[in-house]
């Protein structure tokens, strides 16, 4: 996609989301859209490390949960010293903390490869969960409630949100578009070309002078920051958080399945996978049962691994190439 066309699509998505927020007052629509956009950010974040470099990460839910609990800790601490910060302070702080954790975790684990790296990241998520369960300040294993604040007003009241869930949707829309821009920039930069070389053949890339460890650390840092950014507003949406929900299997599986279904080799693959699978999950939750979501993800993921290992985007590109070859 050319640069002008890309920014036109981003602007259209932003204007469409704002129009949706202005014309709709049904809280369920905003809750469902928030869940889809949250999954979209997590899919993009996972793909920056797992798709661009080929290092499959099973601990992505750990960074999401750490971002959520950063918000809990700051929400308890800052008012105690007389500071009442806006939501973007929590988002920025969670992104910084999780980005630094991603950098440190990458330095320790990115020298491993294949199944060893995957096991290490899974163990890291378990370590995070154990620490949270034993940290009484943020509720420990029993969890903690979070009071949802009043919807904010900007520009002396000229811009006012009728509900906080609508405000959270708009914030998540801005964050998801930011994540898309970051992902596309990485792909089209020298970093992206270096990460593609690592994914194709890391040893050959090293022989050609590609700084593989540095690039992988950048990828792990961006992944952690985006995961934390996605988790920061989560506590205000659910109003109660505990380790079981923050570190849930469904969050971890979705962040892996959505980019694999869309296509991990492309910056827009996770976007396609998250929008399609996330919308299907929300529809099934309302019409049938929310318990079928994990089953749906598992079945669809197995089908794509067997029938279309390059995802939907890769499948479409292969079909177009085949059609061109045959005239």
CB 43 within 8 A of CB 259: yes
As a whole number, the mean pLDDT across the chain is: 88
Q: Is residue 113 part of a domain?
A: yes
Q: Is residue 184 part of a domain?
A: yes
Of 108, 78, 80, 107, the residue nearest 93 (C-alpha): 78
Q: Is residue 232 part of a domain?
A: yes
Of 175, 176, 150, 179, the residue nearest 165 (C-alpha): 150
CA contacts within 13 A on the Cβ side of 111 = 3
What does the pLDDT read at residue 158?
A: 54
Q: Is residue 181 part of a domain?
A: yes
Residue 1: pLDDT above 70? no
CA contacts within 13 A on the Cβ side of 180 = 24
Q: How many domains does the chain have?
A: 1
In Å, what is the CA distance from 271 to each residue of 76, 142, 188, 316? Answer: 34, 34, 17, 15
Q: What is the pLDDT of residues 197-238, one digit of tens each?
A: 999 888 888 888 889 999 999 999 999 999 999 999 999 998
**Domain assignment of residue 109, given as a range:** 3-248
CA distance 89 to 281: 31
In Å, what is the CA distance from 199 to each residue of 84, 96, 268? Answer: 44, 26, 18
CA 202 centroid distance within chain = 26
Q: Is residue 287 part of a domain?
A: no
pLDDT band at 12 (very low <50, low <70, confident <90, very high): very high
Q: Is residue 318 part of a domain?
A: no
Q: Is residue 255 part of a domain?
A: no
Share of the chain above pLDDT 70, in %: 96
250: part of which helix (H) or strand (E)?
Answer: helix 249-262
| CB-based contacts of 194-200 (< 8 A; 24+ apart in sequence) | 195/52, 195/53, 195/219, 196/52, 198/53, 198/54, 199/51, 199/52, 199/53, 199/54, 199/265
* Residue 157, token pair as written in the block: 């009241």
What does the pLDDT read at residue 318?
A: 78
- Reported in sequence order, the residue ranges of the chain that DSSP labels E, i.e. its strands, are 144-145, 153-154, 159-160, 240-241
pTM of the model: 0.93
DSSP for residue 157: T
What does the pLDDT read at residue 131?
A: 93
Residue 157: pLDDT above 60? no
Q: Is residue 258 part of a domain?
A: no
Q: What is the pLDDT of residues 249-301, one digit of tens each?
A: 888 888 888 898 888 888 888 999 999 888 888 888 777 766 677 777 778 77
Looking up residue 141, the CATH number of its domain turns out to be 1.10.3470
Question: β-strand 144-145 against 240-241: which pairing, if any?
Answer: antiparallel
What does the pLDDT read at residue 103?
A: 95
């Amino acid at each position: 996609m050319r640069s002008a066309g890309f920014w036109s699509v981003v602007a259209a998505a932003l204007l469409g989301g704002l129009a949706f927020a202005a014309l709709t007052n049904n809280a369920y629509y905003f809750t469902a859209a928030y869940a889809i956009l949250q999954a979209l950010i997590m899919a993009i974040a996972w793909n920056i490390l797992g798709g661009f470099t080929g290092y499959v990460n099973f601990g992505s839910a750990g960074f999401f949960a750490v971002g959520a609990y950063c918000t809990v800790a700051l929400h308890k601490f800052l008012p105690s010293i007389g500071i009442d910060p806006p939501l973007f302070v929590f988002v920025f702080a969670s992104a910084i903390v999780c980005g630094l954790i991603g950098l440190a975790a990458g330095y320790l684990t990115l020298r491993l490869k294949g199944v060893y790296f995957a096991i290490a990241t899974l163990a890291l998520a378990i370590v995070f969960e154990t620490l949270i369960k034993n940290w009484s300040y943020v509720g420990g294993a029993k969890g903690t409630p979070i009071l949802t604040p009043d919807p904010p007003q900007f520009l002396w009241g000229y811009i006012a949100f009728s509900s906080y869930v609508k405000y959270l949707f708009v914030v998540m829309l801005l964050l998801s578009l930011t994540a898309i821009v970051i992902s596309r920039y990485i792909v089209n930069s020298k970093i992206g070309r270096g990460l593609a070389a690592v994914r194709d053949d890391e040893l050959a890339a090293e022989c050609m002078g590609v700084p593989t460890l540095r690039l992988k650390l950048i990828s792990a840092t961006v992944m952690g920051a985006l995961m934390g950014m996605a988790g920061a507003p989560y506590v205000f949406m659910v109003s109660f958080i505990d380790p079981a929900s923050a570190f849930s299997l469904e969050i971890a599986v979705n962040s892996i399945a959505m980019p694999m279904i869309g296509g991990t080799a492309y910056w827009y693959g996770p976007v396609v996978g998250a929008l399609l699978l996330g919308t299907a999950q929300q529809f099934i939750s309302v019409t049938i049962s929310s318990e079928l979501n994990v089953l749906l993800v598992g079945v669809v993921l197995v089908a794509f691994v067997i029938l279309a290992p390059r995802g939907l985007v890769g499948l479409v590109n292969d079909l177009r190439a085949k059609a061109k070859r045959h005239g």
